[in-house]
Chain A
């Protein structure tokens, strides 16, 4: 598996930025195309009053309408009248974007170190719970109001990062010191996180006034505040401050990977572990460190999910961690690319609500689409073959020479 990673990463490094962007865009369109066919065909099995009749079968779903709702509905229908940029759909899109930047960075950091962290979901669950519990505990010791906000939010984010980081360190240590494959251990730890978290919840932290499995609500002043005047309304559960923090963190991680010796060692361990070890990198410690960093980012995603979206931890945690895998892979594991990919998946996630309200197509379509995107991104050879066969754009050499420099 390690050799395989080496080859893959090498291939990614040698591919130019332009080629990588081209492959991601092509993968996106291919996934949309296949998804559209799926929507159309599955419409033949659904029952409806009006649809397209073809050869005696009524096709209920119109893929064009589905994609219209998916992409424009997620922005609040900017082409229709009365559009304001501060609408609820766009707030949902940007909220998901914010959370997915953290989750995507989590997967990307591990990936750059040559590790598949499928466990971002579990790290997010643990980090989020620790955030909620810590803030609830700390709130009784700090004053309310502005001081409370300034103290509690950093404490909450830190608690999430520590919780996620420690939980991410486990598979890192198991990999480094016992050779346990991190793909399997992180998936298992996702199940364990869900079980442990809900046990802890019912043991001590359940909100006594609610039948829902959830913690008590954190004080309102501990939620991430909105920017006055230009920000979204408080009821939309989205804050531009959070998005700003996510973007800053993204730039910080990009800087860490590209410009610091830690980042250099991390990347070398991912591409050429033997060379890194020869160059004096402690391979085992690097494995634990990069998984810890990756887990901390997953934990921060959980912290923001608690502090921005719900103001409490709920047992029913959305699959942000899995979407983070798709975000990172679509971004070519480049931290700066994560921003764009996270926005796309934010659109898909928010658009699934629009699909659900405006059409009869099940919102689970979005899950299929993200799987398809990953599948297509995983096979750049497919697009090269297609390109060679139909567009006569030359082989990878030609593309490479016209592209920019590799970014690292």
Chain B
């Protein structure tokens, strides 16, 4: 098929976003009382930045996890479900143990966090068995994981709390690094922030290193591009894919549990749940970032930033049509997909690998 040369692509999108931002900043500075000015002052507000970092946690971590699964040849569309189960189980375990207390010198928030990651990993294991060993259609199995999570969270919540929403369990404490937190601009953002933000930043670097600098990373890529060659080279494709899907469960679990305990403090299980499609936004994010973990982290800032600004607008009491403003991140996902639609998926993505064939 012949591609039109004028087809929009990732670079055009970035240039376009840059141009819009530049126009906005100029307008905002020249007319501080206009909408552009108000939005600019909100965007420059430190609390918008900290909110953005917290809101980026589930998107960035789920995206990094999704990169591993999809690079290995297993499209994990069930990441939304993994965020839901990890967030929910982190909250409920913290509640059961009693928030604010600790066991074995570890606060119950951290026990809840660990269980959240574990549950997400178990769901990823189930997904891996279904897709890799039983050769299920990956998209349908992923949808099933999402729908099961969508039912399971309010189901359990209703048993415990008699309501689809859980009780509140409080939040992680901010971790302040002395001296470094005094650095102007970056200090309050990166060194005086709740723990899940550190986890997100560390995971992005770790994910990048693992994928691009280790033998395992090369196997993951080969397993998605040409599993047969990897097999011939003596590496067990099945094991590589299992590990990659489990990694997606671990990363998504870190994101879901961290988001729940660091930002939500409670879990609303009605409708689309408190996760509200962030797992799907994560998929758009890694396509946007062309499977680059650091790029996915930066991409998540775009969506989280939009959401943070919307929160700030409401907090400051501006009369905005909330329901409509809330759809902006979702609409942005569509715009991004239109620009990066022709992202090249790994050659063998979506296919079960059958080593016995031929």
Contacts and interface: CB of A to CB of B under 8 A. Distances in A.
A199 B323 contact: yes
A118 B143 contact: yes
9 contacts: A3-B351, A180-B341, A184-B337, A191-B277, A329-B140, A366-B151, A367-B154, A377-B140, A379-B136
A296 B270 CA distance: 27
Contacts of A8: 137, 140
B138 interface: yes
**Top 6 nearest A-B pairs by Cβ distance?**
A367-B151, A179-B341, A4-B350, A371-B148, A371-B147, A362-B158
Given A185-B337, A364-B158, 11 more contacts: A178-B337, A181-B337, A189-B334, A198-B323, A202-B321, A362-B155, A364-B151, A368-B152, A371-B151, A374-B144, A381-B135
A153 to B, nearest CB: 30
Interface string B331-347: 10110011101100100
Interface string B302-342: 00000000000000000001011011001101100111011
Contact of A188 (B134, B330, B345): B330
Interface residues of B, number: 55
A251 B164 CA distance: 39
Interface of A: 1, 3-4, 7-8, 42, 45-46, 116, 118, 174, 178-181, 183-185, 187-189, 191-192, 194-196, 198-199, 202-203, 322, 325-326, 329, 362, 364-372, 374-375, 377-379, 381-382, 385
A374 B140 contact: yes
A322 B277 CA distance: 14
Nearest to A12: B137
A184 B280 contact: yes
A42 B158 CA distance: 11
Contacts of B135: 379, 381
A4 B139 contact: yes
B321 A365 contact: no
Contacts of B276: 191
A372 B277 contact: no
B284 interface: yes
Contacts of B136: 375, 378-379, 381-382
Nearest to A188: B330
B144 A371 contact: yes
A378 B144 contact: yes
Contacts of B327: 191-192, 195-196
A368 B77 contact: no
A133 B197 CA distance: 46
Contacts of A362: 154-155, 158-159
Given A181-B337, A198-B323, A375 B141 contact: yes
A378 B330 contact: no
A3 B350 contact: yes
B160 to A, nearest CB: 7
B4 to A, nearest CB: 10
B114 interface: no
A120 to B, nearest CB: 13
Interface centre among B146, B151, B269 (most CB of A within 10 A): B151
B144 A375 contact: yes
B159 A42 contact: yes
B33 interface: no
Contacts of A118: 143
Contacts of A329: 140
A198 B287 CA distance: 30
A8 B158 CA distance: 37
B272 interface: yes
A116 B134 CA distance: 21
B115 interface: no
Contacts of B321: 199, 202-203
Given A42-B156, A192-B330, A379 B148 contact: no
Nearest to B272: A191
Contacts of A184: 280, 283-284, 333, 337
A188 B334 contact: yes
Contacts of B130: 375, 378-379, 382
B267 to A, nearest CB: 14
A393 to B, nearest CB: 18
B331 A188 contact: yes
Contacts of A199: 321, 323-324
A370 B154 contact: no
A371 B150 contact: yes
B145 interface: yes
Given A178-B341, A195-B326, A42 B155 contact: yes
A379 B126 CA distance: 12
Q: Of residues A367, A368, A375, A377, which shows the largest number of chain B Cβ atoms within 10 Å of its Cβ? A: A375
A181 B327 CA distance: 19
Contacts of B146: 371
A324 B251 CA distance: 31
A325 B338 CA distance: 25
A369 B139 CA distance: 18
A367 B147 contact: yes
Given A118-B143, A187-B277, A45 B350 contact: no
A183 B349 CA distance: 15
Contacts of A183: 77, 139
Given A1-B139, A199-B321, A364-B155, A188 B333 contact: yes
A202 B337 CA distance: 30
